[in-house]
Amino acid sequence: MLYVIRHGETDVNKEGRVQGRNGLPLNNSGFQQAESLKEKIDGIQFNYIFSSPQERAVQTAEIATGMQACNDERLNVFDLGTADGLKKEDVRLAGGIPDPAFYEYVEDVAKYVSRVFGFMKELEAEHGGKEINILICGHQCTTGTIRAYFEGMPEDGNILKLASRNGELKTYEF
């Protein structure tokens, strides 16, 4: 079984800012969400724990499972470039992401989806069909992309509408 969780809340989330690679660690609410996840998955023996390298995701994975997470760069949050940390209402969007014509260094959506799908395909090839439990902790964009891997991409390409909320758990099977 594959368990996918989104990291708990940070002060950047609380302030209504877009949070990318310059994000903050969990705040008190985020720690409580991670503890709540711990209760939801209590008794599950995980064979593998994977996480985005972002501190907030690592913290959530390790609090929820009590195990050390294996960080994988392919699970890293979508790079928002120079829009990272801005108030959501102040960000000029193009198709649900910061407008790359206006902000520098915004990651290409197709490349982002490709790297997360690449991780998932590798995981499925190695562990699909086995009786094991895998936990992945990521971000809004990660959880949306993983859901798209199992359910298909939305027609408009907006993976964020498939995303989990902070501290939310979803399960999938290969």
Q: Give the C-alpha separation, 92 to 89, whole Å.
A: 8
End-to-end, the C-alpha distance of the chain in Å comes to 8
**Taking a C-beta distance cutoff of 8 angstroms, is the pair 90, 15 a contact?**
no
DSSP state of 97: E
- Average pLDDT of span 112-141: 97
Percent of the chain with pLDDT over 70: 100
**Taking a C-beta distance cutoff of 8 angstroms, is the pair 130, 107 a contact?**
no
Report pLDDT for 55: 97
Query: pLDDT tens across 131-145, in order?
Result: 999 999 999 999 999
23: three-class secondary structure by DSSP: coil
DSSP state of 79: -
Other CB atoms within 10 Å distance of the CB of residue 81: 18
Report pLDDT for 95: 82
- Average pLDDT of span 49-73: 97
Q: Indicate if the pLDDT at residue 96 is higher than 90.
A: no
Query: pLDDT tens across 29-38, in order?
Result: 999 999 999 9
Q: Give the C-alpha separation, 114 to 129, whole Å.
A: 23
Percent of the chain with pLDDT over 90: 94
Q: Indicate if the pLDDT at residue 23 is higher than 90.
A: no
Query: pLDDT tens across 11-22, in order?
Result: 998 899 999 999
Pick from 81, 145, 141, 88: which is nearest to 114 by CA? Answer: 145
Q: Give the C-alpha separation, 14 to 25, whole Å.
A: 12
**Taking a C-beta distance cutoff of 8 angstroms, is the pair 12, 140 a contact?**
no
Other CB atoms within 10 Å distance of the CB of residue 161: 11
Q: Indicate if the pLDDT at residue 9 is higher than 90.
A: yes
- Average pLDDT of span 56-74: 97
- Average pLDDT of span 73-82: 97
Secondary structure E strands in the chain: 2-6, 48-51, 70-71, 93-94, 97-98, 134-138, 169-172
Instruction: Give the model's confidence band at 126: pLDDT under 50 very low, under 70 low, under 90 confident, else very high.
Output: very high
